[in-house]
Amino acid sequence: MAAESAPPECQPSSAALAGGTTLSASAGAYRLTMVGGRPGEALRSASASLLLAPSSFGADAFAPAANPLTGATDIDLRAVGAFPIGDPASRDPAAPGVVVLESRQGNGARILLRLGADANRPDSPLFDGGYTVLEVREITAAGFAGDWRSAADGTMASGHFCARLL
């Protein structure tokens, strides 16, 4: 999808997740909006679909993180300056475009959505350090939101995102 101006309904979140928070019951269809870009560039945004379903990976596939959901998104990562590490729209069960990873961080929860099929193969760890990840900061009845960051070859991009149920 093409870059667009930052939508007012997707604002940065500074919330922190309480311990025990999970996205495990959040399978469904969402409208994903990413806002941000690379340092020194104008703010950009992109929106697209995000589909999440229960994960078919085994319990230890991404240990020590849990993996309750996998999915796909057709978002244009380059439109916001992010780096695709494989196809984020992949529906291949062995290399999905989106993997939800959950772990504990201090007294709270940490929930990440890692984007890109090449990054999401549990049998083939990445060694080049490239990534695009969404970090969930808040979960509501309407969806979830947080920050994103991406890097490859020493170049970084970041911003915030919103995922709203359709």
| Per-residue pLDDT reduced to its tens digit, 17-44 | 999 999 999 999 999 999 999 888 899 9
Through-space distance between the first and last CA atoms of the chain, rounded to whole angstroms = 18
Residue 146 to residues 10, 32, 35, 61: CA-CA distances in angstroms? 10, 11, 11, 25
Dihedral over Cα of 106, 21, 123, 32: its sign: negative
Per-residue model confidence as pLDDT tens digits over 132-145:
999 999 999 999 99
15: in domain: no
Return the SS3 of 118: helix
pLDDT exceeds 50 at position 160: yes
pTM of the entire predicted model: 0.92
Count of structural domains, the chain: 1
Per-residue model confidence as pLDDT tens digits over 65-117:
999 999 999 999 999 999 999 999 999 999 999 999 999 988 889 999 999 99
128: in domain: yes
9: in domain: no
12: in domain: no
51: in domain: yes
How many residues does the structure list for the chain?
A: 166
74: in domain: yes
Dihedral over Cα of 137, 19, 123, 51: its sign: negative
39: in domain: yes
Q: Which domain holds residue 92?
A: 28-165
- In angstroms and rounded to an integer, the radius of gyration of the C-alpha atoms of the chain is 15
13: in domain: no
